[in-house]
Amino acid sequence: MEKKKKLVVGWFSFSCSEDSTILFTELLNEHLDEWKKVIEFRHLKTLKSNNSIEGLDVAFVEGAIASPTQEKELKKIRENCKSLVAIGSCACTGTPSNCRNKLVPEEVNYKISWYLSNFDYSKEVKKLADIVKVDDEVNGCPMNAEVFLKIMDKYLKKYA
């Protein structure tokens, strides 16, 4: 009998608190046995050390984009996946990671301007859709777990 293709998944985090990654890890308590039969987690740096972004069916991307380097990485992920899903409010809308976009000059004190000029930061923090095509969104802060599970099922049906 021909072996069924697994859904090839990547999980990525940019500027954020990584709470959706924690929530995803919690979901593994309940779903790992069932998922490991049908999903290959090809990129999941929080949980494994051998990671690759090549040939992904779905990339789940958490966090907002705060630097040119992150923009480049996100475009590379987009080139290597069939579908890209924004995970959590920071990825879907930019907020709350983008609160510095709204700072007025009087609020930019010495400490803030030091960080902005000494690290690789863009002028503005962006949501994923400002840079690449986003196929689905799981909004919430952190992500809505029920919606995430439905989206995982949708892509299992589509690609596995």
CB of 21 to ligand SF4, least distance (A): 8
Nearer to ligand SF4, 7 or 88 (CB): 88
53 vs 141, beta carbon nearer ligand SF4: 141
C-beta of residue 58 within 8 angstroms of C-beta of residue 9: yes
Contacts of residue 22, defined as CB under 8 A and 6 or more positions apart, other chains included, come to 142
Please tell me whether residue 87 adopts helix, strand or coil conformation.
strand
Q: Which is nearer to ligand SF4, 68 or 96 (CB)?
A: 96
Nearer to ligand SF4, 86 or 132 (CB): 86
Nearest CA to 59 among 74, 69, 70?
A: 74
The SS3 assignment for 56 reads: strand
d(CA 79, CA 26): 29
* Rg, Å, the chain Cα set: 17
Q: How far is the CB of 77 from ligand SF4 (least distance, A)?
A: 17
User: What residues between 97 and 126 interact with ligand SF4 by CB under 6 A?
Assistant: 97
Smaller CB separation from ligand SF4, 7 or 16 = 16
For residues 75 and 73, what is the distance between their CA atoms, to the nearest angstrom? 5
| Subset of residues 125 to 144 that bind ligand SF4, contact rule: CB under 6 A | 141-142
Tokens describing residue 135: 């196929």
> What residues between 5 and 64 interact with ligand SF4 by CB under 6 A?
16-17, 19-20, 62-63
**To the nearest whole angstrom, how small is the minimum distance from the Cβ of residue 71 to ligand SF4?**
18
94 near ligand SF4, judged by CB under 6 A: no
